[in-house]
Amino acid sequence: MPHLVILYSGQLDHDTDMTQLCRRLADTMLTVRDEAGEQVFPTGGVRVFAYPAAHYAVADGSGDHGFVYLNLRMGKGRSEATQQDAGQRLMATARAHLADLLTRRHVGITLQIDVGLPVFDGRFGNLHPLFTAPT
């Protein structure tokens, strides 16, 4: 883990490239460093998913308003400063990607970061070794 899940109003598929947003956010996650200069999110663990909401209601219904909700889930152990830096970087990336869209449509953007240990954390796969230097 870290996983960044994006939920968004489905009409935005016509207005912006969500796959590109996912890639940009993943690349941003890979730039986050802690106070010691170490990469915060392991390359093989970074995941960004985007799901359009087919059914939604936004604000008072007076227009074709949209939303983008981003939720980053990360394990414990990162400092408050590192968490804030990750949030600021991700929000800046989302805002830059959606800037043109915001000139044409009213959209609410929310980023929430959840930190904690899951009750169960099963992991399996062969992706991490691709990004681990041999010793």
Query: What would the pLDDT profile of 8-25 be if each residue is shown by its tens digit?
Result: 999 999 999 999 999 999
Query: Phi/psi of residue 109, each to 5°?
Result: -120, 130
Q: Which amino acid is at 25?
A: L
Sequence spans of domains, the chain:
3-131
Domain 3-131: top CATH class:
alpha beta
Angle among Cα 126, 19, 97 to the nearest 5 degrees reads 125
- Is pLDDT at 57 greater than 90 in this prediction? yes
Averaged confidence pLDDT in the chain: 91
> Cα separation of 50 and 44, whole Å?
18
Q: With 70 as the cut, is the pLDDT of residue 26 above it? A: yes
Whether the predicted model's global pTM rises above the 0.85 cut? yes
Measured CA to CA in angstroms, residue 14 lies from 10, 11, 49, 60, 110 at distances of 8, 6, 18, 22, 20
Please report the beta strands in 20-128, taking only residues with DSSP state E, as ranges in sequence order: 47-53, 66-74, 107-115
Q: Is 114 helix (H, G, I), strand (E, B) or coil?
A: strand
What is residue 76's DSSP assignment? S
